[in-house]
Structure 1
Amino acid sequence: MDSNSSRGKRTSLQPQRAAGRQRVEELLEAASDLMAERGYEATTMAEIAARAGAKIGSLYRFFPNKEAVADALVQRHIAILEDEYEALAKRAATLSPDALADVLIELLVTLHPRVKSLSALMEARTDKTEIRDRARGHAIAGIAAALRVCAPGLDEALARDIAAVVLNTMKVLRSMLAKDAPTTPGGPDELRRMHRLYLTDRLQPFRRTSDGITDAEP
């Protein structure tokens, strides 16, 4: 039985001590790096341990097999998304629409390295549709919540529609920056400008004025 084979249905060990929790974080970070670089299938348990500077026995102590590592990574990535979008909603109350547009782009830049293996995990797993739907659902709900904080008169359905457009714009920009999509040297900046103009156009009518009435209200 090789290092990637399933070893029963044993669950991952949840360490109680700080040193154990730190070791798990190091192992998961190493696994995330490798899976982002090489893909889920090509990554082995031995490579994860080596990248983390740990003994293979230490890895198996916390994770019985590679599938358990993947499960932990998915949960970790979803938790990161939830935390970041919750923080975004709190910031949105102090932001103008164009400033919020820039913060969303900044969020894209900071989030991607932290959840870099999510795409590889989704492609390799049998439940990839469920994982993708969960990740997209968290992203759309999180962006929509921030939009409604910035523009309180915005109804939930429209906020989710705008959030879907914003999410796709962010993905295109990421692809352009990574040279995975056709672009030019000034293309990303033009997309950022379009992103700001779009959000300002859609949110400004629903912003609260000094008397508490939204611009969209009669």
Structure 2
Amino acid sequence: MDSNSSRAKRTSLQPLRAAGRQRVEELLEAASDLMAERGYEATTMAEIAARAGAKIGSLYRFFPNKEAVADALVQRHIAVLEEEYAALSKCAATLSPAALADVLIELLVTLYPRVKSLSALMEARTDRMEIRDRARGHAIAGIAAALRVCAPRLDEALAKDIAAVVLNTMKVLRGMITKDAPTTPGAPDELRRMHRIYLAERLTPFRNI
């Protein structure tokens, strides 16, 4: 039985031994692959264990339910994004809106091997809304921070609105490249062009130039 319906807020076990840490890595990698392929809702604990080549008891030993697995993945994805957004914010002031647009739209494509299940978790329909909201909120906040470095006079609320549009554009491009979204050979370049025009129009009035 998949424990997705469990409401209990039990914590994951943090292994102390190297073998245990390795097993957790394998389980989370399997979970990330499955959620990227099938979505959060369709992925079961039994499938995660099977993909990792582990017994179901081993999975439950470390993660009491699927929500705990999702929590662990979100924490890992956020750590990756924090590193990337920090680096981006350092250079955003030197980038034109069009150049920043190019960097941002490619970010999910570049990071995909490390955050495979991020999009699936951001779209998850789960009783524990904080899983989805935390993933979305952190992504939007990081993008908005970079936008405000590039355009310092941009209002925080507007920056978040623009960041939400940027995030969805990033997800569409990744879907086009991985063939998960309807596309044609030239469509990704057209999306990139549209994204540059959009950010240039929205950010230029708020830049200190």
Does the Cα contact within 8 Å between 2:148 and 2:154 map onto a contact in 1? yes
Pairing of 1:162-173 with structure 2 (within 5 A): 162-173=162-173
Does the Cα contact within 8 Å between 2:70 and 2:131 map onto a contact in 1? no
* CA gap 1:119/1:140 in 2 versus in 1, 3 angstroms: closer
Q: Which residue in the other structure is 1:127 paired with?
A: 128
Does the residue aligned with 2:106 lie in a helix, a strand or coil? helix
Does the Cα contact within 8 Å between 1:148 and 1:154 map onto a contact in 2? yes
Cα drift, residue 188 of structure 1: 1.5
Pairing of 1:71-90 with structure 2 (within 5 A): 71-90=71-90
1:189-213 deviation digits (Å, cap 9, x = unpaired):
1121121222233333443xxxxxx
1:65-122 deviation digits (Å, cap 9, x = unpaired):
3343233223333443333323322232332322211111221202344333345455
Letter in 2 for 1:25: E
Q: Report the TM-score, using the length of structure 2 for normalisation.
A: 0.78
Percent identity between matched residues is 85
Mapped partners of 1:28, 1:86: distance in 2: 25
* CA gap 1:152/1:178 in 2 versus in 1, 3 angstroms: same
Cα drift, residue 10 of structure 1: 4.3
Does the Cα contact within 8 Å between 2:105 and 2:166 map onto a contact in 1? no
Indicate the structure whose relative CO is greater, using CA pairs within 8 Å and at least 6 residues apart.
2
Q: Which residue in the other structure is 1:115 paired with?
A: 115
Q: Report the TM-score, using the length of structure 1 for normalisation.
A: 0.76
Letter in 2 for 1:31: A
Does the Cα contact within 8 Å between 1:89 and 1:149 map onto a contact in 2? yes
Aligned length: 206
Cα drift, residue 26 of structure 1: 1.6
Computing the radius of gyration from Cα coordinates, the structure with the larger value is 1
Does the Cα contact within 8 Å between 2:74 and 2:118 map onto a contact in 1? yes
Q: Which residue in the other structure is 1:143 paired with?
A: 143
Pairing of 1:12-91 with structure 2 (within 5 A): 12-91=12-91
Mapped partners of 1:180, 1:44: distance in 2: 21
Cα drift, residue 34 of structure 1: 1.8
* CA gap 1:52/1:140 in 2 versus in 1, 3 angstroms: same
Letter in 1 for 2:84: E
CA RMSD of aligned residues (A): 3.0
Does the residue aligned with 1:123 lie in a helix, a strand or coil? coil
Does the Cα contact within 8 Å between 1:85 and 1:139 map onto a contact in 2? no
Unaligned runs of 5+ in 2: none
Q: Which residue in the other structure is 1:211 paired with?
A: none
Letter in 1 for 2:127: T
Does the Cα contact within 8 Å between 1:26 and 1:52 map onto a contact in 2? yes
